[in-house]
Amino acid sequence: MKMAPDFRGFLGQVPKEFYEAYRDKARFIEIRWAGFDPPGKFIHPADPLYRELWKAYLEEYVKRYGTDHLYAAQTYSEKEPGRTPEAQKEIDIAHAKKAVEAVKSVDPQGVIFTQSWTWLNRKLWPKENVKAFLDAFPEGDVMVWELWNDNAGGHPMYKEMDYYFGKPWLMGFLYSYGGQTNLHGDLAGLVKRVREVATEPKAKKCLGIAVQPEAMHHNHVFFDILSRLGWNPMGVELGSFLEEYAFRRYGKESAPKMVRFLKELAASVYGSDDTYPSLYHLRIYEIRAPPPPSGLQSIWKGAYGVSLSQRSKFIPHLQRALEIALEEAGRLGECPLFQHDLIDVGRQFLADLFNLRLAWLYEAFKSGDKKTFGKEAHILDEVLQSLEMLLSSNDYFCLQPILDKAMALPDVPKDFDQRVRDILTIWDGKILDYARRDYYELVRFYYRKRVNAFINYLEEKIAKGSNEIRDDELSPLYHEIEQSWVRKPFRVKKSEKYAGTTAEAAEEIIKKHGLTKEELRTIKVLK
């Protein structure tokens, strides 16, 4: 492959000035995404101008970059180009036909790839519409880059779509959807799924794996094994892979102990396909449904693959993993990869602990137990303080150094740092908390402030003898914090960050937050 192909391709989007010049000479369609006004207009794919512009675009693209003979012809992902399913089907099929004409006119060897994300909308994309769209491409001229089957359970899209009706396809992994950097992904399940596809006769047109993440440079072990499976699925066995990975990442002397570290993760966060969130990343509201007897599910009802009680059982594994890793701190303490892994596991331990303690706080609030409520409120704040300490021990997990480098570039917009703060949080007020990340400053000045607002709100309620939580009272509190984060730049002095090493920060976390035998027994029997 000479180059990474253009992933988006051409969907007929043109500047508004172009639209004004051609509005009476060509057909256009109105398209919006997530409430945003697009920066331009879209030509209807059935209009002759559509093919003409696409051809011009491809000619310039190939002239500049060369070609690997792969060209994107995506559907109108997360958009509805027609007012009815019938109109959308017409538009998408016209788009497919024009894509073939334009690509072949520039590169006779060209093959079009399209991704399957749009087809998750079964209302607009029933199975027969997907087949009609793919059949609009001549044989051999299209390939499906699947999105996604990461945690598809027993019904991945390739099975629902009859292995894409005989078209060549790639097994797709979005994995870090929403930019998730928390530890997640079923390693053993991943090996099993890829092997099944590799040996399934119906999947003989599967040509490999497509990795299309929304965040990178985290969860290294998952990306590593996924890459190995792409080359040789039948040659990967989880146990031997973990041993070899530990040797490569931590060195010969530390590998035996760090294999134990990895196995604790494989038995917990890397042993489940859930994408359970760190609840401090979200506005905390009361789910408006009668809680089950335990009360645990009132905070979150398991919409992410597992229940909170199941997820909480990962905490002992994460604690043991940290303890095992710290035994190697003398040998590996200066290793950047080791430091990164300590922070990753430490912040996941604190996140799952936060979720559990939040549930206990909630139960105390609903029962009017002021003493337990006060205890859990104090612990929750300490958990977030410890998270700040851990993240600030390493610039990789600090936002300020990233912004400083960006703002030092020539011609960078003056409001660039504000745009970053916006897209990491409220995204112009339209997509709240999509890109959830653990940066020191983000936790300190945004997430922790919202959590404190929630706790203070409950404190006022419980003091008055009330156990009612109203979203319309919480929302303005959250909104004020969110707007302040976006509009007001922050500055952190070096003296405000943790002065010790990452290993020392992790040691302090275990000392302060390590669960007692009684707490471990409590987690073990959660239902």
DSSP 479-510: HHHHHHHHHS-----GGGS--S-HHHHHHHHH
| Least trusted range by pLDDT, from 144-153, 347-356, 395-404, 451-460 | 144-153
pLDDT tens readout for residues 196-239: 999 999 999 999 999 888 888 899 999 999 999 999 999 999 99
Question: How confident is the model at residue 321, as a pLDDT?
Answer: 98
Residue 19 placed within a domain: no
Total domain count for the chain?
1
Q: Does a cis peptide bond (omega within 30 degrees of 0) precede residue 427?
A: no
Question: How confident is the model at residue 276, as a pLDDT?
Answer: 79
Question: How confident is the model at residue 293, as a pLDDT?
Answer: 37
pLDDT at 288 > cutoff 50: no
Residue 512 placed within a domain: yes
Query: Exposed e or buried b for every residue in 188-226, given b needs 16+ CB within 10 A?
Result: ebbbebbeebbeeeebeebeebbebbebeebbebbbebb
Q: Is the dihedral of CA 74, 76, 82, 88 positive or negative?
A: positive
pLDDT at 302 > cutoff 60: no
Question: How confident is the model at residue 298, as a pLDDT?
Answer: 43
Of 12, 5, 8, 147, residue with least CA distance to 62: 5
pLDDT at 498 > cutoff 70: yes
Mean pLDDT of the 88-92 span: 87
Confidence of residue 527 (pLDDT cuts 50, 70, 90): low
| Least trusted range by pLDDT, from 1-5, 148-152, 377-381, 406-410 | 1-5
Alpha helix locations (H) across 327-415? 329-332, 336-367, 370-392, 399-407
| CATH code (residue 369) | 1.20.120.670
Mean pLDDT of the 144-153 span: 76
Residue 243 placed within a domain: no
Residue 28 placed within a domain: no
Residue 498 placed within a domain: yes
pLDDT tens readout for residues 111-134: 999 989 888 888 888 899 999 999
Mean pLDDT of the 433-446 span: 95
pLDDT tens readout for residues 21-75: 999 999 999 888 877 877 778 999 999 999 999 999 999 988 988 888 999 888 8
Confidence of residue 297 (pLDDT cuts 50, 70, 90): very low
107 versus 289: the higher-pLDDT residue is: 107
pLDDT tens readout for residues 441-488: 999 999 999 999 999 999 999 999 999 999 999 999 999 999 999 999
Mean pLDDT of the 146-173 span: 86
pLDDT tens readout for residues 254-278: 999 999 999 999 999 999 888 778 9
Residue 188 placed within a domain: no
Question: How confident is the model at residue 287, as a pLDDT?
Answer: 58
Mean pLDDT of the 180-193 span: 93
Residue 125 placed within a domain: no
Residue 389 placed within a domain: yes
Question: How confident is the model at residue 158, as a pLDDT?
Answer: 93
pLDDT at 6 > cutoff 70: no
Question: How confident is the model at residue 286, as a pLDDT?
Answer: 80
What range does the domain containing 496 cover? 267-524
pLDDT tens readout for residues 305-335: 677 888 899 999 999 999 999 999 999 999 9
Question: How confident is the model at residue 84, as a pLDDT?
Answer: 81
Residue 381 to residue 131: CA distance in whole angstroms = 53
